[in-house]
Homo-oligomer: A and B are copies of this chain.
Amino acid sequence: MQVIEYPKKMQELSEQLRREGKILGLVPTMGALHEGHLSLLRRCRAENDLSVMSLFVNPAQFDRKDDLAAYPQDWEGDFKKAEAVGVDLVYAPTAGMMYPEGYQTYVEVEALTRRWEGASRPGHFRGVATVVAKLFTIVKPHQAYFGQKDYQQALVVQRMVQDLNLDLEVIILPIIREEDGLASSSRNWNLSPEERCAAPVLYKALQAAEARVRAGEQGAEAILERMREIIEAEPLAEIDYIACCHPMRLEPVERITESVVFLLAVWIGRTRLIDNALVEVPAQA
């Protein structure tokens, strides 16, 4: 497994491989790899001639310095896991290589970023869109893999790729969950044992919402109210937002007549977790 640090070196290698007709896949990560990442990496390896993992904790997407400082890091473990699933190349630049002195260009996706994570974390999606655009121009993948766990992020990246005519396909893979339903996330590493026990409450709320929709309930507010009750019953949990939205535009939906996505962000102690569920409406009898 090769490790490349310099953007120009990575780009030259990718350009050469593309000219040789090789198909390149990219999984962008911020390290602290978990089963969700590994599912992306395995799929990337299976579908491409060369699978690249980027490893870069992007300062531009953190709205709070303490959040950046607390982000879990385990490079040694990450390299081992990446090698074990067959990653061919790790692109791991420093912050100074990605944002050298005088850096001043940013990519903004507008409507899709106004609500939810965009509203709770000002500047977050600007940082995401910018770094992902840069990773795409540096690594030049034919396909890039993202997890559905960061649902809004996945839509923002797809929209950016379409709008800026970036020549690649964005592939979104399902959420990987632990046995008790907690969505795999690097942030789970920061949970204390008690918090870890409380954390599946996000999934419980999503399951309740899904069951209600399957049972034919169409009023979003009644379902959201039930979700709030479930989460508020957990003393360590504090809701940031819960929403029932159009699955592509992410605008709130009041009456559920077509597929919707339930999005939620919940603080468990000092750790903020997000989760979501895409729910189909049952066919009418």
**A221 located at the interface, meaning its Cβ lies under 8 Å from any Cβ of chain B in the complex:** no
Q: What B residues does A284 contact at CB under 8 A?
A: none
Of the residues B11, B19, B110, contact of A104 by C-beta under 8 Å? B110
Q: Is the CB of B105 within 8 A of A164?
A: yes
Q: Is the CB of B105 within 8 A of A106?
A: no
A18-B19, A19-B18 given; A165·B7 CB < 8 A: yes
Of the residues B133, B159, B165, contact of A138 by C-beta under 8 Å? B165
Range for the number of chain A residues in contact with chain B: 20 to 34
**A68 located at the interface, meaning its Cβ lies under 8 Å from any Cβ of chain B in the complex:** no
Residues of A participating in the B interface, judged by any CB pair closer than 8 Å: 7, 11, 15, 18-19, 21, 103-112, 129, 133-134, 137-138, 140, 159-160, 163-167
Q: Is the CB of B164 within 8 A of A133?
A: yes
Q: What B residues does A7 contact at CB under 8 A?
A: 165
| Docked pose: A165 CA to B100 CA in angstroms | 11
Closest-CB distance, A121 to chain B (whole angstroms): 19
Q: Is the CB of A108 within 8 A of B110?
A: no
A19-B19, A166-B137 given; A108·B111 CB < 8 A: no
A7-B165, A134-B165, A164-B134 given; A159·B104 CB < 8 A: yes
Q: What B residues does A106 contact at CB under 8 A?
A: 107-108, 110
